[in-house]
């Protein structure tokens, strides 16, 4: 179902299986107690549905072929024989399915009844897994009916004239789906102090299935969610849980048809509880993401080595059939991976981001014994956010805001809009505000190096990188000397996105400082942090109004004038950063998946196209404030991704290798050479660009 993970050419760009995803299903039938024939019919109906939905594997509840709440009827030969016959008939019927089925039944083996899960695929029974932990407390009496897995004597069981692997030590490799190895456990196994699936994950299983008949009591659903989330997170795996429900006997208990799918601690799907009808839920698992997480997580590898988990298991192959047509990804891919779409979660994250930045700066000030900070305020996003961090830090330390020495440093390209916003924000925040016009100093520098501008020449060729960097350098020189004069700490304002794209001048304020509070905060998050401040109105109406104007202003370096003469200035920045290096909303998306997970560029493009290519892909696109719902064609995504690859891997690392200190804010990572990102300064982008061009149509 997927292209080779060894770098072979992608056959179908729009197929989820080509990009390391796999669809799984949870099937929740209505059961008939002690009627295997009826349960087989209902199992087949859901199996057909799972197959139509292009699921690789589908899991059913514990003992779904017989029903769970049979009590002593599990020792009735008619029930055992009927359940076995239903399994054999299911195996024969599965020849018509592409989906592997994981079903539950009681099975007589070695003179004892075992509570088992059977893996069935393409006409054969691939393996039988017995339950390990049998609950025998409170309402449970499973040891009365079943033998535990440890009591088995055989490693195979004869079913339909074939020897089938039997044991709790089975792992199933699904081919041809790279990375899809699964483990099966049954209900109480998950509730045990050391779930068997932990060993399965350490032995390489990326997907963990649980067939359950957990009865419902008040609050138990939350505990199930906690268990599944925790097990998937600790195991760096997907956890797929199918719980029994409608039709089970309510003599003393009740059931709620609870189905759950988690991936690395994140819930992907959940059933409707207490439904009286059959249900099926699906989710597209990101197997490559799980593999990348395990690749980076040294403690996972250490645990696998210490446990010698791989040697405990037998491997069983499960061959599934490839769908005839491309399977479209149905998973929600957030447009803004650094910013939660849920408003409550977003507010919580914004508050925490501020707290981390403020805590870092507070500690640096305490450690150095310095009580003043020096910051350049341009009227743009980054410096405005950094200024608010400084205000919160001095407030936390009980220092006067006058200790924040804020400077607006207008140059040749400063627009009236950003200039006025800088002055208004400094006044609203009550900091010590000053202005230094850097144009005279810049002109002297340009004259001393015999730049064409100093000879009166004008035009695009004159407004070159040197012209721009002279201004950036003069600003930084002033700030550092002002810090010397006032015994202050220069606060850097450059953000993660600009560092990734190399959109910063080496040795100046967006790359160099005494302490850089924004260095691990991407541009999209800074935008939302400022919007969050606007909503809270923490610093009053004037500050909020100014911040709103700042977030609505074109992102620009403001180093080149619009034209000669004041009449040409319309008040807006003359340059557009995004016109040169790409839309930050799209480049932040690329940054997240390339730096956080190390995905192939073609896979990043696939994800970006799914998230940004079609406005009808999901209602979640409407939940992000400030988004103008732009869309990008695949050609646009390819273009800007290639720009990103060249700048990120080819021309910018030497700037990141010399970054000042700054706190890591998000789990998306930072580019600090002492933290998340270590890379050679002399590398090149060829392998990434070539992969993108080769695999993108």
Q: What token pair was written down for 458?
A: 């004008």
Q: Is the pLDDT of residue 389 over 80?
A: yes
**Is there a domain that residue 414 lies in?**
yes
Is the separation of the CB atoms in 383 and 549 below 8 Å? no
Residues 265 and 389 in one domain: no
Domain count, the chain: 2
Residues 647 and 597 in one domain: yes
Q: What is the largest CA-CA distance in the chain?
A: 103
Q: Strand 156-159 to strand 124-130: parallel, antiparallel, or no bridges (unpaired)?
A: unpaired
Q: What token pair was written down for 651?
A: 């021309």
Residues 366 and 218 in one domain: no
Q: What token pair was written down for 288?
A: 């490559």
Q: What is the pLDDT of residue 624?
A: 52
Residues 307 and 365 in one domain: no
Q: Residue 568 belongs to a domain with what CATH number? A: 3.40.50.620
Q: State the Cα angle at 650 between 646 and 653, rounded to 5°.
A: 125
pLDDT single digits (tens) 5-18:
333 444 578 899 99
DSSP 32-67: -TT-HHHHHHHHHHHHHHHHHTT-SEEE--TTTTT-
Name the helix (H) or strand (E) containing 435: strand 432-435
**Is there a domain that residue 575 lies in?**
yes
Going by pLDDT thresholds of 50, 70 and 90, the confidence category of residue 593 is: very high
Residues 475 and 624 in one domain: yes
Q: How far apart are CA 362 and CA 390, in angstroms?
A: 9
Q: How far apart are CA 562 and CA 416, in angstroms?
A: 12
Q: What token pair was written down for 126?
A: 């691939």
Residues of the domain holding 686: 343-695
Q: Where does a domain end: 286, 319, 352?
A: 319
As a whole number, mean pLDDT of residues 96-121 equals 97
**Is there a domain that residue 7 lies in?**
no
**Is there a domain that residue 332 lies in?**
no
**Is there a domain that residue 403 lies in?**
yes
Residues 183 and 61 in one domain: yes
Cα dihedral: 590, 491, 506, 479 (round 10):
150
**Is there a domain that residue 2 lies in?**
no
Q: How far apart are CA 118 and CA 71, in angstroms?
A: 21
As a whole number, mean pLDDT of residues 40-54 equals 97
Q: How far apart are CA 478 and CA 276, in angstroms?
A: 73
Q: What is the pLDDT of residue 628?
A: 54
Q: Where does a domain end: 319, 354, 382?
A: 319
As a whole number, mean pLDDT of residues 416-430 equals 97
pLDDT single digits (tens) 601-650:
999 999 999 999 965 444 444 455 555 558 999 999 999 999 999 999 99
For the chain, give the mean pLDDT. 93
Q: How far apart are CA 405 and CA 482, in angstroms?
A: 9
Of 103, 96, 287, the residue nearest 177 (C-alpha): 287
**Is there a domain that residue 593 lies in?**
yes
Q: What is the pLDDT of residue 5?
A: 38
Q: What is the pLDDT of residue 323?
A: 83
DSSP 616-631: TS-GGGGGSTT-----
Q: What is the pLDDT of residue 562?
A: 81
Contacts (Cβ under 8 Å, ≥6 apart) of 29: 39, 42, 43, 45, 46, 60, 61, 64, 247, 278
**Is there a domain that residue 334 lies in?**
no
Q: What is the pLDDT of residue 619?
A: 44
Q: Is the pLDDT of residue 304 over 70?
A: yes
Residues 286 and 358 in one domain: no
Residues 98 and 172 in one domain: yes
DSSP-based helix, strand, coil % in the chain, nearest 5? 45, 15, 40
Q: How far apart are CA 491 and CA 512, in angstroms?
A: 9
Q: What token pair was written down for 486?
A: 């006032």
Residues 498 and 356 in one domain: yes
Q: What is the pLDDT of residue 626?
A: 55
pLDDT single digits (tens) 454-502:
998 888 889 999 999 999 999 999 999 999 999 999 999 999 999 999 9
Strand order in the sheet with 314-319: 266-270, 259-263, 238-243, 207-212, 181-186, 170-175, 314-319
Q: How far apart are CA 521 and CA 533, in angstroms?
A: 16
pLDDT single digits (tens) 148-174:
999 999 999 999 999 999 999 999 999
Q: Residue 230 belongs to a domain with what CATH number? A: 3.60.110.10
Instruction: Please identify every residue annotated as catalytic.
Output: 62, 131, 187
Residues 639 and 594 in one domain: yes
Is the separation of the CB atoms in 64 and 35 below 8 Å? no
Higher pLDDT, 281 or 140: 281
Q: What token pair was written down for 410?
A: 């207008």
Q: Is the pLDDT of residue 308 over 50?
A: yes
Report the SS3 class of residue 360. helix
Residues 555 and 609 in one domain: yes
Report the SS3 class of residue 193. coil
Q: How far apart are CA 326 and CA 425, in angstroms?
A: 53
Neighbouring-strand partners of residue 492: 516
Residues 286 and 380 in one domain: no
pLDDT single digits (tens) 184-226:
999 999 999 999 999 999 999 999 999 999 999 999 999 999 9
């Amino acid at each position: 179902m997927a292209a080779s993970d060894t770098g072979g050419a992608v056959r179908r760009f729009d197929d989820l299986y080509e990009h390391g995803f796999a669809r799984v299903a949870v099937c929740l039938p209505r059961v008939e107690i002690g009627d295997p024939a009826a349960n087989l019919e209902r199992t087949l109906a859901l199996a057909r549905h799972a197959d139509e939905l292009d699921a690789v594997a589908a899991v059913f509840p514990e003992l779904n072929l017989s029903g769970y709440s049979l009590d002593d009827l599990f020792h009735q030969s008619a029930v055992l024989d009927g359940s076995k016959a239903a399994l054999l008939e299911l195996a024969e019927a599965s020849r018509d399915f592409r989906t592997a089925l994981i079903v539950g039944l009681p099975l007589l083996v070695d003179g004892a009844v075992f509570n088992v899960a059977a893996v069935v695929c393409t006409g054969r029974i691939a393996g039988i897994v017995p339950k390990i932990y049998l609950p025998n407390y409170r309402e449970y009496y499973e040891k009365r009916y079943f033998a535990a897995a440890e009591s088995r004597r055989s490693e195979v069981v004869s079913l339909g004239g074939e020897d089938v692997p039997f044991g709790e030590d089975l792992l199933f490799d699904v081919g041809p789906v790279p990375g899809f190895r699964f483990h099966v456990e049954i209900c109480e196994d998950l509730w045990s102090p050391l779930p068997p699936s932990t060993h399965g994950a350490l032995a390489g299983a990326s997907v963990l299935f649980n067939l359950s008949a957990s009865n419902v009591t008040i609050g138990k659903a939350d505990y199930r969610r906690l268990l599944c989330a925790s097990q998937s997170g600790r195991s760096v795996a997907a956890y797929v849980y199918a719980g029994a429900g409608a039709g089970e006997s309510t003599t003393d208990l009740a059931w709620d048809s609870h189905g759950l799918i988690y991936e690395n601690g994140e819930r992907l799907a959940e059933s409707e509880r207490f439904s009286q009808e059959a249900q099926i839920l699906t989710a597209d698992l990101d197997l490559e993401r799980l593999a990348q997480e395990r690749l980076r997580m040294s403690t996972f590898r250490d645990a696998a080595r210490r446990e010698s988990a791989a040697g405990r298991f037998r491997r069983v192959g499960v061959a599934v059939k490839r769908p005839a047509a491309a399977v479209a990804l149905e998973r929600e891919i957030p447009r803004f991976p650094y910013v939660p779409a849920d408003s409550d979660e977003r507010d919580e994250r914004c508050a925490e981001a501020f707290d981390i930045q403020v805590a870092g700066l507070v500690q640096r000030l305490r450690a150095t014994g310095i009580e003043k900070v020096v910051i350049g305020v341009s009227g743009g996003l980054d410096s405005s956010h950094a200024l608010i961090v400084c205000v919160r830090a001095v407030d936390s330390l009980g220092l006067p805001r006058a200790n924040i020495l804020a400077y607006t440093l207008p140059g040749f390209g400063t627009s009236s809009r950003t200039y006025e916003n800088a002055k208004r924000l400094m006044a609203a925040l009550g900091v010590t505000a000053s202005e230094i016009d850097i144009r005279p100093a810049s002109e002297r520098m340009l004259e001393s190096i015999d730049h064409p501008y100093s000879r009166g020449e004008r035009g695009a060729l004159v407004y070159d990188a040197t012209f721009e960097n002279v201004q950036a350098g003069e600003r930084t020189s002033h700030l550092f000397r002002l810090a010397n004069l006032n015994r202050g700490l220069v606060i850097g304002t450059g953000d993660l996105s600009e560092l990734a794209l190399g959109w910063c001048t080496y040795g100046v304020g967006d790359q160099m400082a005494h302490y850089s509070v924004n260095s691990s905060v991407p541009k999209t998050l800074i935008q939302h942090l400022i919007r969050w401040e606007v909503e809270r109105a923490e610093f009053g109406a004037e500050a909020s109004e100014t911040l709103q104007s700042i977030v609505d202003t074109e992102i620009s370096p403001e180093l080149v004038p619009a034209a000669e003469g004041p009449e040409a200035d319309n008040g807006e920045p003359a340059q557009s950063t995004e016109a040169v290096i790409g839309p930050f909303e799209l480049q932040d998306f690329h940054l997240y998946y390339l730096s956080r997970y190390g995905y192939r560029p073609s896979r990043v493009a696939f994800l970006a196209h799914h998230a940004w290519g079609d406005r009808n892909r999901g209602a979640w696109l409407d939940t992000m404030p400030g988004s103008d719902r732009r869309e990008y064609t695949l050609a646009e995504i390819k273009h800007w991704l290639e720009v990103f690859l060249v700048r990120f891997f080819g021309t910018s690392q030497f700037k990141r290798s010399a970054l000042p200190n700054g706190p890591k804010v998000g789990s998306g990572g930072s580019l600090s050479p002492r933290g998340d990102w270590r890379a050679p300064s002399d590398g090149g982008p060829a392998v990434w660009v070539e992969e993108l061009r080769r695999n993108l149509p």
